[in-house]
Amino acid sequence: MNTKTMEDHPVKHQKAPGKVAAEKYCLRLYVTGSTPRSTRAITNIKRICETHLKNRYTLEIVDIYQQPGLAKGEQIIAAPTLIKRLPLPLRKFIGDMTNSERILIGLDLRPARKPEELNGKSE
C-alpha cells in the first residue's frame, strides 16, 4: 500500500509564507545634480531601503544632467523621481522622499491606512 503525507503534495497557486519579504526590489532614483533636494532624496531613499529592504534591493541613482536620455526614456517630468520597477506594479514617486510612510505604502512594504486610522475618526 502506498501512502503519502501532506508533504508529498505541494500546494499550488499559493504564495509561500515570507515570499513577499524575499522579493528583490529594483529601484531607480532620478536627481538633478547635487542640489539640496537631490541630496535629501538620496539620503532618505537609502535610509528607507537599508531599514526595510536590507540585502533585497538595487538602487540606481541617475543624474539627469549627466544622462538626459535615460530621463527622457522614462518620461521624467520632475526630479527627484523614484521609480520602482520590480516587483510589479511599476510605481513612481516624486519629491525628496521625506514622507517615508507614503514611500513604504507605495512600495507595498506597509498596508495603506484607513482614514479613521490616520485621524482617529472617519473623514
Could you give the angle at the alpha carbon of 99 between the alpha carbons of 96 and 102, nearest 5°? Answer: 115
* Higher-scoring residue by pLDDT: 36, 15: 36
Return the CATH number at 78.
Answer: 3.40.30.10
What is the number of alpha carbons within 13 Å of residue 112 lying toward its C-beta? Answer: 3
Phi, psi of 121 (to 5 degrees): -160, 165
Task: Tell me what pLDDT residue 29 has.
Answer: 98
Question: Could you tell me if residue 123 is inside a domain?
Answer: no
Question: Does residue 32 belong to any structural domain of this protein?
Answer: yes
Number of domains in the chain: 1
58: closest CA among 70, 46, 67?
Answer: 46
Q: Is residue 7 part of a domain?
A: no
Max intra-chain CA distance, the chain: 73
In a domain? residue 115: no
Q: Quick one: pLDDT at residue 85?
A: 96
Q: Is position 56 within any domain?
A: yes
Separation between Cα atoms, residue 115 and residue 101, nearest integer Å: 14
Does 17 reside within a domain?
A: no
DSSP character at residue 58:
E
Average per-residue pLDDT for the chain: 82
Query: Which is more confident, 1 or 64?
Result: 64
Question: pTM for the whole thing?
Answer: 0.74
- pLDDT for the residue 119: 57
- Give the range of the structural domain holding residue 88, as residue numbers without chain letter: 23-106
